[in-house]
């Protein structure tokens, strides 16, 4: 009978906890200002079908329900306990719940790790009790939970109706705001809400997995201030996004916002741009304005996806057609080019002054026949060059604006749109300037599951999210992430040796590591003695050479005077070596200098940067950007979590704003982008192969029309915590 019984192996424990047959309300109260009162009211008013066990040693009855002095006294075993009592009581209560066999507890109290050290140790005690007894915890410091399809409303929120939007929000006010917007909207309903609070036990990852499995949820919507285990979250998001849309608003897009968030959550915010890239890589629809959360969740929930980004606009006024065209372009969507057949059919349906190019402007044709708008939508939806249909203008208001007698035709138009939505897989998105006053035709559309927006801007965000989601499902999801290289024993030994010595790889070692895994690093010679220079000079001939010091004690070679460029011939090499050695001995007197590295100068091209960092939240992350001002001033960088798929690598190159330079701007030839994609994939596979590799910096890489060369390579090795740092 259980709809997800087939998945028991991975089934979330939250299904039982959030759909309990019984609930203990610990700290139930008759004082209307207390949460222990509100929760009782919410359960009773919403008609919770299971057993309610108020627990309060000082009362026999609460709101007409028999109360019990303690958890131990309960006549049955509820799956869930709501704990409304203050923090110090919680560890003991968790033990009591555990002994009684209660599976999960929602802990409202604050005053734990988010407050001070005493709170943190109370939290540890609570977690120890929970682990010992197998009780799963939601919170503490949570705004609460609801599961409206189970009539479990522990927030006692009025006027929320059951529906298919599931919510996890680190802000209780944000839930309230969404609930009020939904109430105003009239059609959006909710499935489950969870406030994760301190995420001491269960966290975002668990809640998202649950929403993914929950059959009542068609779209998972999250307001996030900070992740606890970001890497795990990305994995869960990938799994869930394959099944249903996942919408995330991540706060802290600016330093000012991050300071504000950390002042009240203590959470580590991380780079916003990186977080957005990684979430999108995992199939998440990222929303960047808080007032777009509900519109996008509603639109994705109802319409799911578009197969592409070519939008056909049907408008009954030029001004709003233009606004729509502007917003679509800004959102990366295009106006579909309508076929001649489509335009001929439109011409047949409309008056001669109508414009049948996209945006289609009916130019008065529908003033007395609003249902013609539905006909136009049918016509453009049938065009294979159209991925989604956007109706813009007065629909729903014709009978108000022009003549009441148009109501019948307008309602027929609404029915035709509903029929079209059922017949086509292409999403129909409707903006009406009459949406705020909800005329009958718009109510009909809404009831039938067609969202109607009161803002062109919000409608376009929905179209963009539908296009992105379609793109993700068609191209990104399911693309295999490239497997790690087989590690080479010699290279692993280099890394182990560096780690033992508490240093990074020498440049020669780094270059060898890269070269051994197919990365194009120019030929080099490590010169330990001046006598070798004659042979080196003759080997390279007329090719201009670069010379760099090799020393485990000198990290910043240029600063130490350890780099000389554009050298040709033995005398120049000899002079450069002498200068380098003198400058480095001067700069770092005790430095152990291995020798100098000699390589051909890279031919001219476009400077790019490839880097790997280990992010404390998201783990190993690859970054790509153009060198110089693009990274340093414009912060024009693409991020992806390692391991990458081929699609990810390609998308990184496409994403940077400076891609026009890669394509060959200002008369220069374009660079070999396919080679850059291979480079990104190789770096991803290499990082996966050698766990001791902490970070990597290829800066610059010179990209050209015939490939690329890594000019400078730095490989940072994980430090052995027991090794004493000696590097100057």
Q: Which long-range contacts (CB under 8 A, 24 or more apart) does 406-410 make?
A: 406/368, 406/370, 407/440, 407/441, 409/369, 409/370, 409/371, 410/370, 410/371, 410/440, 410/441
**Distance in Å, CB of 154 to a second copy, minimum:** 15
Cβ nearer to a second copy, comparing 183 with 424: 183
- Residue 422 and residue 378 in contact, taking contact as beta carbons nearer than 8 Å: no
| Number of C-beta neighbours around residue 180 at 10 A | 14
- Residue 172 and residue 232 in contact, taking contact as beta carbons nearer than 8 Å: no
Bond from prior residue into 431 cis (ω within 30 degrees of 0): no
Residues 6 or more apart whose Cβ sits within 8 Å of residue 489: none
C-alpha 14, offset from chain centre: 23
Cβ nearer to a second copy, comparing 428 with 662: 662
Cβ nearer to a second copy, comparing 73 with 632: 632
Gap between the Cα atoms of 716 and 46, Å rounded: 58
**Distance in Å, CB of 455 to a second copy, minimum:** 4
**Distance in Å, CB of 203 to a second copy, minimum:** 17
Kind of pairing, strands 693-704 and 606-615? antiparallel
Cβ nearer to a second copy, comparing 259 with 497: 259
**Distance in Å, CB of 547 to a second copy, minimum:** 23
Cβ nearer to a second copy, comparing 30 with 290: 290
Gap between the Cα atoms of 400 and 417, Å rounded: 20
Cβ nearer to a second copy, comparing 319 with 544: 319
| Number of C-beta neighbours around residue 552 at 10 A | 18
Gap between the Cα atoms of 276 and 406, Å rounded: 47
Q: Is residue 492 classed exposed, middle or buried when 0-12, 13-18 and 19+ CB atoms within 10 A define those classes? A: middle
User: In terms of DSSP H, where are the helices of 424-483?
Assistant: 440-447, 456-471
Cβ nearer to a second copy, comparing 73 with 291: 291
Cβ nearer to a second copy, comparing 97 with 442: 442
Gap between the Cα atoms of 547 and 580, Å rounded: 9
- Residue 105 and residue 137 in contact, taking contact as beta carbons nearer than 8 Å: yes
**Distance in Å, CB of 582 to a second copy, minimum:** 24
**Distance in Å, CB of 269 to a second copy, minimum:** 10
Cβ nearer to a second copy, comparing 176 with 448: 176
- Residue 715 and residue 513 in contact, taking contact as beta carbons nearer than 8 Å: yes
Residues 6 or more apart whose Cβ sits within 8 Å of residue 639: 271, 273, 274, 277, 278, 621, 622, 623, 652
β-bridge mates for residue 429, sequence order: 390
**Distance in Å, CB of 369 to a second copy, minimum:** 12
Cβ nearer to a second copy, comparing 289 with 497: 289
**Distance in Å, CB of 134 to a second copy, minimum:** 32
Q: Which residues in 401-521 belong to E strands, given as ranges? A: 428-432, 452-453
Cβ nearer to a second copy, comparing 173 with 479: 173
Q: Which residues in 528-605 belong to E strands, given as ranges? A: 545-551, 563-567, 593-600
User: In terms of DSSP H, where are the helices of 282-371?
Assistant: 293-303, 318-330, 340-349
Cβ nearer to a second copy, comparing 85 with 599: 85
**Distance in Å, CB of 646 to a second copy, minimum:** 27
**Distance in Å, CB of 302 to a second copy, minimum:** 20
Gap between the Cα atoms of 171 and 642, Å rounded: 30
**Distance in Å, CB of 204 to a second copy, minimum:** 15
| Number of C-beta neighbours around residue 563 at 10 A | 18
List the one residue out of 607, 613, 611 whose CA is nearest residue 271. 613
**Distance in Å, CB of 537 to a second copy, minimum:** 27
């Amino acid at each position: 009978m259980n709809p997800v019984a087939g998945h028991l192996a991975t089934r979330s424990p939250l299904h039982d906890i959030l759909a309990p047959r019984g609930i203990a309300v610990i700290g139930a109260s008759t004082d209307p200002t207390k949460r222990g009162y509100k929760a009782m009211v919410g359960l009773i008013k919403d008609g919770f079908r299971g057993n309610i066990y108020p627990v309060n040693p000082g009362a026999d009855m609460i709101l007409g329900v028999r109360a019990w002095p303690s958890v131990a006294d309960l006549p049955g075993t509820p799956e869930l306990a709501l704990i409304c009592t203050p923090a110090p009581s919680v560890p003991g209560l968790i033990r009591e719940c555990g002994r009684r066999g209660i599976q999960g507890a929602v802990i409202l109290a604050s005053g734990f790790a988010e407050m001070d050290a005493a709170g943190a140790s109370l939290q540890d005690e609570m977690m120890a009790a929970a682990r010992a007894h197998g009780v799963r915890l939601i919170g503490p410091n949570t705004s609460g939970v609801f599961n409206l399809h189970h009539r479990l409303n522990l927030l006692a929120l009025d006027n929320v109706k059951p529906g298919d939007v599931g919510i996890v929000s680190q802000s209780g006010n944000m839930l309230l705001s969404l609930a009020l917007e939904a109430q105003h909207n009239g059609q959006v309903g909710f499935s489950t809400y969870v406030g994760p609070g301190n995420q001491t036990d269960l966290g975002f990852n668990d809640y998202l997995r649950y929403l993914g499995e929950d059959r009542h949820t068609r779209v998972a919507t999250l307001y996030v201030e900070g992740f606890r285990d970001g890497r795990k979250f990305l994995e869960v998001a990938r799994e869930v996004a394959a099944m249903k849309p996942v919408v995330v608003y991540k706060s802290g897009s600016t330093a000012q916002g991050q300071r504000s968030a950390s002042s009240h959550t203590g959470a580590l915010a991380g780079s916003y741009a990186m977080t957005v890239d990684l979430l999108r890589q995992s199939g998440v629809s990222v929303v960047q304005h808080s007032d777009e959360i509900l519109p996008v969740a509603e639109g994705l929930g109802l319409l799911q996806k578009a197969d592409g980004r070519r939008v056909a606009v049907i408008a009954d006024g030029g001004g709003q057609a233009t606004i729509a065209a502007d917003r679509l372009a800004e959102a990366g969507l295009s106006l579909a080019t309508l076929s001649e057949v489509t335009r001929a059919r439109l011409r047949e349906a409309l008056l001669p002054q109508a414009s049948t190019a996209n945006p289609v402007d009916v130019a008065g044709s529908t003033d007395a026949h609003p249902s013609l708008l539905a006909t136009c939508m049918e016509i453009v939806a049938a065009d294979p060059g159209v991925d989604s249909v956007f109706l813009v203008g007065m629909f729903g208001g014709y009978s108000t604006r022009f003549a009441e007698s148009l109501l019948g035709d307008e309602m027929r138009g609404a029915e035709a749109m509903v029929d079209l939505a059922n017949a086509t897989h292409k999403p129909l998105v409707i903006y009406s300037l009459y949406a705020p006053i909800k005329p009958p035709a718009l109510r009909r559309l809404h009831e039938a599951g067609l969202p109607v927006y009161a803002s062109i801007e919000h409608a376009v965000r929905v179209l963009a999210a539908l296009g992105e989601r379609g793109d993700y499902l068609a191209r990104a999801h399911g693309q295999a992430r490239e497997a790690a290289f087989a590690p080479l024993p010699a290279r692993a030994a280099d890394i182990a040796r560096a780690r033992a010595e508490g240093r990074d790889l020498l440049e020669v070692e780094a270059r060898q590591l890269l070269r051994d895994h197919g990365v194009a690093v120019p030929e080099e010679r490590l010169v330990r003695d001046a006598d070798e220079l004659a042979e080196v000079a003759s080997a390279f001939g007329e090719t201009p050479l670069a010379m760099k010091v090799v020393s485990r004690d000198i990290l910043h070679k240029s600063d130490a005077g350890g780099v000389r460029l554009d050298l040709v011939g033995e005398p120049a090499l000899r002079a450069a070596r002498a200068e380098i050695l003198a400058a480095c001995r001067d700069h770092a007197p005790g430095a152990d200098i291995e020798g100098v590295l000699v390589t051909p100068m890279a031919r001219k091209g476009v400077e790019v940067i490839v880097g790997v960092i280990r992010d404390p939240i998201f783990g190993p992350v690859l970054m790509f950007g153009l060198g110089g001002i693009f990274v340093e001033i414009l912060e024009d960088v693409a991020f992806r979590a390692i391991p990458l798929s081929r699609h990810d690598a390609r998308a990184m190159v496409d994403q940077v704003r400076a891609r026009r330079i890669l394509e060959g701007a200002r008369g220069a030839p374009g660079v070999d982008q396919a080679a850059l994609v291979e480079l990104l994939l190789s770096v991803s596979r290499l990082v996966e192969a050698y766990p001791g590799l902490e970070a990597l910096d290829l800066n610059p890489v010179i990209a050209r029309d015939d490939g690329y060369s890594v000019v400078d390579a730095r490989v940072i090795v994980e430090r052995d915590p027991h090794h004493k740092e000696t590097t100057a």
